Structure 1
Amino acid sequence: MKKLWKYLILLVLGIFLLVLAACAAEPGIEPTSLATLQPTQRPGTEIPPASATAPIPTSTPYIEERFIEVEWPTHLHLGDSDIIRLALIPTIYGYSAQLEYPEHTVELEDVEVPYLGGYEAVAIARMDAVGMEFQPTGDQEQNLVEGESLSWRWTIYPQSAGRHRLSLSLRLRWDPSGEGGRVSEVSLWQAGLEIIVDAPFGLTAPQARALGIAGVLAGSVLVLPFAEYAARQRLERASASRIHRVRPNKDLILEAGLEITLSETESILLKGLFHTYERLIITTRFSSGYSGARTLLVRPFRSDGRADAHAIVKFGTRKMIRAEYANYQTFVRQTLPPITGRILGPPVMVQGEEEAVLQYTFVGTPNIAPVSLRSFALKQPVQETARLIEDRLFSTFGPAWWMQRRPYVFRMRQEYDHLLPVHLLLEAVGADHEASVLSGDLRQVQHLKPGDVVRIEGGLVTEVRSERRTATLTWSALLEDSPLRVRYRHIPPESFSEGRKVHGLYGQVVASRFELMYKEVAKPFPDLDLHSDRISLGGRWLINPLQRLEDLLNFQLQGTRSIIHGDLNLENILLGPGDLLWLIDFAATREGHTLYDFARLEVELTTKVVAEILSRHHSRVEDFLIVLDGLNEEGLLLDGFLGEIAVLLNAVRGIAQRCFYDPADIKEFHKALILAYLGSLKFTNLDEIACAPLPKALAFCAAAFLMSLEDR
C-alpha cells in the first residue's frame, strides 16, 4: 500500500511538472475586450452591410420562400474543434429544423430569394472570426437553383478561452447568362454567433493539450469505459436517422388470409423485417388514407412455435416512410402517452427495393389483435362508438395535441387545398405541339381547357405511383397560397423520380380540378347541372359548393393552430382491449388548423359508417339531410336510426367545439367540413364500398347543405 501511495505522489508531481513546462514554453494570450471585437476580412474584400442595395437587373423577379438554417456549438472546450453549418432550404413542403449534432443549437429564419430571367444566381457565404482559426476562409460560392438546398460548413479551432463572436453573411450575385448583362450583388442575410470556450485554469490551447495528455496517461483506465459508452450512444442516435438495410429471410413462411394478396415487394420487405422469425401470419389489410400507403396487421411466430404480439406494418416509398418516422420522433414519441402505438425502430428496407417498411407495436393483451374503429363502428351499437370518440379519443390525445393550441390566421387554401383533386390532369405528348408555358402560377390554370397543350417549366416531382403509372408535380407557393399541383398519367415509371426538377416537358390537358370533381359528383347524381349556382338535392334547393369553392379557399379565417394527426381516418384509429385507443400512420402529422382532424373524422364517419346504416334501412339522401337539420337546429329531436346517426356525428362536433377559436361560432368548423367533404370525392375506395355511390352522394349533399348554412 505504501508503494502505491509513492507511485501516486510521483505521478501527481509529474503532471504538475508537465503543466509548468507547458506554461513556461507558451506565452499567455491577452484576453480581448468584447467591445474591440471586429470580424477579420480578406485583404481587398468588403462585406456589404445588410442595408446596402446593389443595382438589380430590371427583370421582374420570381420570389422563392426559403429558410436559412444555422447550426453551431454554443460551448466548446479549449483544444476541441467543431463544425458550423449554414443552409439555404426551400420551404415548398414545410421544414423542421434538423440537428446534425445533438449538442448543437439550430435556428431558422425566413428569407425571400428572387430569381431573374436571363441571369444565373450565385449564393456567397462567408464567415469571419477573432480568437479562433477556421477553414475554409474567404468567400464560399455555390450556384443557386430553384427548389434545391445549399449548405456550407466551416471547421473552427478556438485558440483561447472566453466568449467569442463570429460573423456569418450570405450574399446573392446575379451573373448574366448571355452577353450584355451586368453583374449585380446584394446582401441577403447577416448574423452574429456567440461561442463560449472553456478551459481548465484559464490555460491556452497548448497548455490545455499538455494537461490533457497527462490526464490521459493517469486516467485512461477510467476514461475508456465512459468513452466507449458515449460512442455507443452517438452511434445509436445516428442509426435512428437512417433506414436500416437487412437481408430477407427466404425461408420465412408467409400465410395470408384469403382476401389478402401480397405484392412481390411486400413479401420481400416482410421477409426482411421479420427475418429472425420462422412464420408470419397476415390477418388484416387496412384501407389507406391520404398517404396512399399499405398497412397490414400481422403476427410473427418463432422457430419453437411461440407467437409474439400482433404488429402493424406499413409500406411506402422510402421518402414517405422516412418522413413518417421523422414526424413520429418530432410530434409523437415525446408528446403522446405510452399507451399510444409506437414505432419499433427505424424504417427497414431491402437492397434492390425502392420501398421501405415500418413496424408499429402496442401496449395490450398479446393474444388479442387490435381492430380499426371502422370495424368496431360497423359491428357495435352506435352509442359505443360515440362514447369512444367523446371519452377515449379526446382524453387520450387531446391534452398533448389539440388542446395545446394558439391563435392562427390563415387562408383556407393553405390548410385544405391539398385535400382536393389536383389542379390539372395531363397526358404526355410530343414537343411538336404549340404550347403555353406552365410555370407554377395558379392563375394560368383558369384559362386552360381539355385538349390544350402546356410546357412544364420548373415543376418538382413530389410523388410517383408506379402501380398507377402517375406522377405528381408541384411548384413553390407564395405566402398564404397553396402550390399548383399537376398530375401526369400513363407514364413509364422509370421516366420520373421524386425530387427531380422538370423543364421542357409537354402535356395535354385531360381535365381541370372542376371537371375531375364534376365526374365524381355525376356518379350519384348523373342529371345534376353543376354549372348552376343552385342545385336540387333531396327535394331542396341548395347552393352548389363547386361554384363557391374558390371563394371559400380564398377566405381568411381566424382559428387556432396545434399538432394534428393530418390523416385521422377510421383505419388509423385502432381499438384494443380495455377501450385502449392507438393511432398509426403519422406521414401527415404536423402543426396545422386544430379543427382539421375533426373535420376529417366526421367525413370518415359519414362516408363509411353512416352510409352503411342508411343503406341497411334503404334510406336516401333526404333522410341524411334531416339528420343535418337536427345537428344544426335546437329542439329538433330525432329517433330511430336517424337519431343514432345524429348521436354519432354529434360526438365529433362536441369534441371539435372544445377547440373553436370562438366557442359560440360554429362557422369555423363548417368551413373546414365543406372542404373535407368535397375532398373525399376523389377517393376511389369509396367507389368500392358495397353501398356505393351513396358515400359520395352524402359527402356532396353535406357540403351543399353546409354551404347553404354559410350563406344565410
Structure 2
Amino acid sequence: MPNIELKDILIAARQEAYRMRHFYIGAEHLFIALLQIRGSLASHIVQHYGLTPEYVINAIRRKLGKGGKHRLWADVPKTPRAEVILSIANDLALDNGREQINERDILIALFEEYENIPMRVLIALGLNNPRELIELAQNTATHSSSQQPYIRIDFGQHFEPTDKLSRDEAFILRRMFYGYSQIRVERRLTSGYSSATLLVVTPIHVDKREDAAVIVKINQVDSILDEAQRYEAHVKTKLPPMTARIEDKPIAPEQSDLAGIKYTLIAGYDRVPKDLRAIMATWTPKDIGEWLKNELFPPFSHSWWKQNRPFRFQVWREYDWLLPPVLTLEFSQKEFPSNGHVIRMPIKRAKLRRLDYGDVVAVENFIVQRVYPDRNTIQLAVGNNTDSTNAYKIEVRGVNLEENTYYRGEVVENLVGTVWQTRAQQLLLALRALEPDFDAQAEKIPINNKEKIPNPILAYEGLLDSYVNGTLCTIHGDLHPGNIMIGPNQSAFLIDFAHTRDGHTIFDWVTLENSILNDYVMSATDGSWDAARMVVNHIIKLNGGEFIDTTLSPAIARLETVRYIREIARQCLAEDDKWSEYYTALVFCGLRTLTWETASIGGRRLMYLVAGLAIRELRTRFRPSSSSETPSPDDTDMSLSL
C-alpha cells in the first residue's frame, strides 16, 4: 500500500473540493482523495466489489453536484463530520501505537461513521454491509500489480482466425478466470449497436476437467458497470428459472479502460451455446418464427412483455435518442456574443433547424451523459440521469478535460460552443454514403413505377411531437439474434442487458424485426437499391395482410419470419390492431440503422426505405395522436439571445 501521509490526503481532498466548487472539505472529499491514489486500499476494496474508483467517484459527484461559482467564505474549512472522521482516525492510529494517521485509519473511520455521503453512495451501489467493509479495511494487505496471472488461452474450431483478441481483452479474461489453468474461447458472438466484445468461453481446470461454457462481455468500464446495475434493478428478479444470469461481480481492473462481465447459463449446458444468428443459417424462416413465438415469447412475457401497463408518451421522449446528436459543437471559451443562440429546456426544434455551421450556441442545464477523455469530448442530453436513452443529445468536442472537470450525471449550467455539424447534416451524409440512385434531398422517394414514399430524413421530425398510446414494461432494449441464445431442448436465453429498462413494449419487437430485415433478409440479396425496393414492395403486402409468394426468392421467403414477429407484436399492442405505435418505432429504428456503420450497406438501404414506408403507413392508415394537455417541445421555445 502506498505510504501516503495525512497532509497529502488533505491536499488531494482540497483539490477535489476546488474542482467541485465546494470550498470546504467534507467526508466525500476525503474518500475521493483516497480513491484517487493509484493502488490504494480504498480502490482495492471497491474493485473487490466489481467497481472502479472512477465509477464510485462519479457516483459521489452526482450525489453532491457542483457548488456555486462565488465563494462565501475564506479558506477551505473542514466540515464537522470531516472533523469527527479525522478524530476517529487519530484514535485508531494511537490504538495501533502510531502518532501519524494513515490511509487505512481514515478509511476505517469513514466506514464506522456510516451516515456520511460516501457510505450512502456505496450502499446504493450494493456495498451495504458496513461491518464487512470495516473488516476488509482492517485485514486487507494491498499491493497493486499490473502483472496478470498466467492462464493459457486457446481457441475453439468455430473461432475465426482473423478475430484476434486485444491485449486488454486477454488481460480481462485472465483476471476473470483466475484459478483455472486455461480457457478455450469457442466463438465470438455479434454485439448490437455497441462496440462490445461477446465471447463464448469454456473454463478448464488443471486436471483438464471442463466447466460449462459461459458468455463473457467486454466493453468500456462504465458500460459494463452500468449493465451490472441494470441487471440488479430490472432483470435479476424477473427472469424465467432457466436463463442466463450474472452470478459474479464484474471484473474492472484499475490498469485497464475495459471491464468484463460473465453470463452464466445455469441450465447445465452439455455443449457450446449458440445464438439465434448462428442457428438461422440451418433453420427455415418458419422454424425461426415458430421458435420465437413458442419458445422465446412465452417464458418472458409474464414478467416482461405482457405487463400491460398503460403508457401514453410523446414520441421524442422514447425515440429521439436513437438518432444522431441534434448538434455537434466545438467547445469555446470566448465571450458569448449578443447574437448567439441559447439552448435550454423546453426546446423548440424549429429554431434548432435554423442553426448552421459556425453559429455560436450556449447550452444550459443539460445533463452530462458520457465523458470521453481520449477524444476530449463530452456528450450532453436532456434528462434527469445518465441513461443512454435521454433525448436531444449534444456532442461537444475539444473540451480540455484537464482544466474542466465534467462527470456523468452533472447538470451543466452553461457551456458555449460553435456548431460543427447538425443532425440533418449527419443523416444526409449517412444517406449519401449509401450511393442513392435518387435525389437524397427530394421529399418523395420512388419505390416502384407508380408509388413513392416520404423521404424519412426529411419527414421524421413531424412524428416527434406526436403522442402514442402504448404499454410500458421491462424491455431488453437490444433484442437482436446475437443476444438470443438457444439452449437444451431449444429453450430460450437472453444475454446483454446493457439497455434493459422500463420502456415502450413494442420497441423490443421492432428492434428484432429491424435486425432480421437487416441481417437475414437482405443478406439473401445483392444489397442493391433495386433489391431493397423489391423487399419493400413485399413488406407493403405484409403490412396489408396480403399473400406473399415465398417462392419468388430466398429474401422474400425470409419475410415469413417477420410475419411471425408481427404476430407476437400484435399481442403487445395497447389497442387491438392499432399499429401506429409499431410503425412509429419502426421509423426511428430504421433511421438509427442508416447511421449504423456495422450494418451492411444493403441492410442500411433497406431500413432507410422501411422508415419511409412506415411514415407513409402512419399518414395513410394509422395516425398517432397529436394533441395532449402536456405541451410538446414545439409549443414552447428555444430562446434567442439578442
Question: Normalized against structure 2, the TM-score is what?
Answer: 0.68
Q: Indicate the residue corresponding to 1:610 in structure 2.
A: 521
Counterparts of 2:577 and 2:204 in 1: how far apart (Å)? 54
Q: Indicate the residue corresponding to 2:612 in structure 1.
A: 704
Cα RMSD, aligned residues only: 3.5
State which of 589, 599, 602 in structure 2 corresponds to 1:676: 589
Q: Indicate the residue corresponding to 2:353 in structure 1.
A: 446
State which of 371, 380, 388 in structure 1 corresponds to 2:283: 380
Residues 378-428 of structure 1 show CA distances to partners (whole Å, capped at 9, x for unaligned) of: 343222211211111101211221111211111111111111111112344
**Aligned-pair distance for 1:596?**
0.9
Query: Which structure has the larger Rg?
Result: 1
Instruction: Note the residue ranges of structure 2 that are not aligned, 5 or more in a row.
Output: 1-60, 73-126, 621-642
Q: Indicate the residue corresponding to 2:426 in structure 1.
A: 516
**Aligned with 1:397: secondary structure?**
helix
**Aligned with 1:442: secondary structure?**
coil
State which of 533, 549, 555 in structure 2 corresponds to 1:638: 549
**Aligned-pair distance for 1:176?**
12
Q: Indicate the residue corresponding to 1:695 in structure 2.
A: 603
Counterparts of 1:418 and 1:606 in 2: how far apart (Å)? 22
Q: Indicate the residue corresponding to 1:397 in structure 2.
A: 300
* Between 401-410 and 489-498, the greater mean CA deviation after superposition: 489-498
Residues 353-372 of structure 1 show CA distances to partners (whole Å, capped at 9, x for unaligned) of: 34322110113454411122
State which of 344, 352, 356 in structure 1 corresponds to 2:247: 344
* Between 425-434 and 314-323, the greater mean CA deviation after superposition: 425-434
**Aligned with 1:484: secondary structure?**
strand
**Aligned-pair distance for 1:579?**
0.8
**Aligned with 1:552: secondary structure?**
helix
Say yes or no: does 1:251 pair with 2:144: no
**Aligned-pair distance for 1:441?**
5.3
Aligned AA for 2:233? Answer: T
Residues 208-261 of structure 1 show CA distances to partners (whole Å, capped at 9, x for unaligned) of: xxxxxxxxxxxxxxxxxxxxxxxxx9759989xx9x999774311223542222
* Between 544-553 and 633-642, the greater mean CA deviation after superposition: 633-642
**Aligned-pair distance for 1:677?**
1.2
**Aligned-pair distance for 1:575?**
1.7
Counterparts of 1:319 and 1:265 in 2: how far apart (Å)? 16
State which of 161, 164, 174 in structure 2 corresponds to 1:271: 174
Counterparts of 1:425 and 1:624 in 2: how far apart (Å)? 35
Counterparts of 1:650 and 1:466 in 2: how far apart (Å)? 45
**Aligned-pair distance for 1:289?**
2.3
1:54-69 → structure 2 map (5 Å cutoff): none
Q: Indicate the residue corresponding to 2:106 in structure 1.
A: none
**1:286·1:571 contact (CA, 8 Å) conserved in 2?**
yes
Instruction: Note the residue ranges of structure 1 that are not aligned, 5 or more in a row.
Output: 1-146, 152-173, 180-232, 687-691
Counterparts of 2:251 and 2:522 in 1: how far apart (Å)? 38
1:130-529 → structure 2 map (5 Å cutoff): 148-149=62-63, 235=129, 249-256=148-155, 257=159, 258-364=161-267, 366-428=269-331, 431=334, 436-439=341-344, 442-443=347-348, 445-465=352-372, 470-476=377-383, 483-489=391-397, 497-499=407-409, 502=412, 505-529=415-439
Say yes or no: does 1:599 pair with 2:516: no
Aligned AA for 1:508? Answer: T
In structure 2, relative to structure 1, the CA distance for the partners of 1:236 and 1:267 (3 Å cut) is farther
State which of 440, 453, 456 in structure 2 corresponds to 1:542: 453
In structure 2, relative to structure 1, the CA distance for the partners of 1:283 and 1:431 (3 Å cut) is farther
**Aligned with 1:447: secondary structure?**
coil
In structure 2, relative to structure 1, the CA distance for the partners of 1:467 and 1:287 (3 Å cut) is farther
Counterparts of 1:274 and 1:236 in 2: how far apart (Å)? 28
Counterparts of 2:374 and 2:270 in 1: how far apart (Å)? 35
**1:260·1:284 contact (CA, 8 Å) conserved in 2?**
no
Residues 646-666 of structure 1 show CA distances to partners (whole Å, capped at 9, x for unaligned) of: 311001100000011111222
In structure 2, relative to structure 1, the CA distance for the partners of 1:549 and 1:617 (3 Å cut) is closer
**2:367·2:384 contact (CA, 8 Å) conserved in 1?**
no
**1:421·1:513 contact (CA, 8 Å) conserved in 2?**
yes
Q: Indicate the residue corresponding to 1:571 in structure 2.
A: 482
Q: Indicate the residue corresponding to 1:3 in structure 2.
A: none
Counterparts of 1:286 and 1:649 in 2: how far apart (Å)? 22
Structure number having the greater helix percentage: 2
**Aligned-pair distance for 1:497?**
5.0
Identity of aligned residues (%): 26
**2:311·2:472 contact (CA, 8 Å) conserved in 1?**
yes
Q: Indicate the residue corresponding to 1:624 in structure 2.
A: 535
Aligned AA for 2:243? Answer: T
Q: How many residues are paired up? A: 481
**Aligned-pair distance for 1:581?**
1.5
State which of 533, 544, 558 in structure 1 corresponds to 2:469: 558
In structure 2, relative to structure 1, the CA distance for the partners of 1:587 and 1:638 (3 Å cut) is same
Question: Normalized against structure 1, the TM-score is what?
Answer: 0.61
Residues 655-709 of structure 1 show CA distances to partners (whole Å, capped at 9, x for unaligned) of: 00001111122222111111211122221111xxxxx311011001111112112
**1:525·1:697 contact (CA, 8 Å) conserved in 2?**
no
Q: Indicate the residue corresponding to 1:156 in structure 2.
A: none
Aligned AA for 1:645? Answer: R
Counterparts of 2:522 and 2:257 in 1: how far apart (Å)? 37
Q: Indicate the residue corresponding to 1:663 in structure 2.
A: 576
**Aligned-pair distance for 1:597?**
0.5
**Aligned-pair distance for 1:594?**
0.9
**Aligned-pair distance for 1:490?**
6.8
**Aligned-pair distance for 1:315?**
2.1
Counterparts of 1:304 and 1:615 in 2: how far apart (Å)? 50
Counterparts of 1:264 and 1:662 in 2: how far apart (Å)? 52
Counterparts of 1:672 and 1:618 in 2: how far apart (Å)? 23
Counterparts of 1:412 and 1:238 in 2: how far apart (Å)? 46
**Aligned with 1:385: secondary structure?**
helix
Counterparts of 1:376 and 1:447 in 2: how far apart (Å)? 48
In structure 2, relative to structure 1, the CA distance for the partners of 1:477 and 1:324 (3 Å cut) is closer
